[in-house]
Amino acid sequence: MHAIADLLTRAGVETDVVDAVQDAIWEKVLVNVGINAATALARVDNGLLADTDPGARLLASAVEEAADVARAEGHAVRDDVVEYVSDVASATGSNRSSMRQDVERGRRTEIERLNGAVVARADDHDVAVPVNRTLTDLVRLTERGYDAA
């Protein structure tokens, strides 16, 4: 793996080799769960989640719930996961999340693979995820509105 990573790096493709692939996938999911649905529904840039009290509370709640699910599934989650996701939101402050772009264009989103997947796995482990459930339901409702328009 390291030889392939070195080759890709020399070709200009930033590459990380990780031992715990599923943990790395969950970390990416946690970032998207914390940012995408909220920015899509509020139609705000990523930075407002980190830079405002309502945004920061929503981001923290969604990420903490999803982290509980990841742990219930046996995955390692960094201790500073909320701060990490908030830092990502700040660093991408002027970005419009892909889910926000989908909503603005009346397209189906990746909600089922993000917050919706967290909700489904939470149900498997009897973990409460009220914020992720609400975000998922609101995005689903938004998508149904496309059909009614």
Q: What are the structural domain ranges in the chain?
A: 20-148
Angstrom distances, CA of residue 44 to CA of 3, 52, 57, 125: 41, 11, 15, 32
Angstrom distances, CA of residue 130 to CA of 65, 73, 91: 8, 18, 27
| Cα–Cα distance for residue pair 54/11, rounded to 1 Å | 42
* pLDDT tens-digit map of 29-72: 999 999 999 999 999 999 999 999 999 999 999 999 999 999 99
What CATH number does the domain located at 20-148 have?
1.10.1040.10
pLDDT above 90: percentage of residues in the chain: 81
| Cα–Cα distance for residue pair 40/54, rounded to 1 Å | 15
**What is the set of active-site residues?**
28
CB atoms within 10 A of CB 109: 23
Three-state DSSP at 27 gives helix
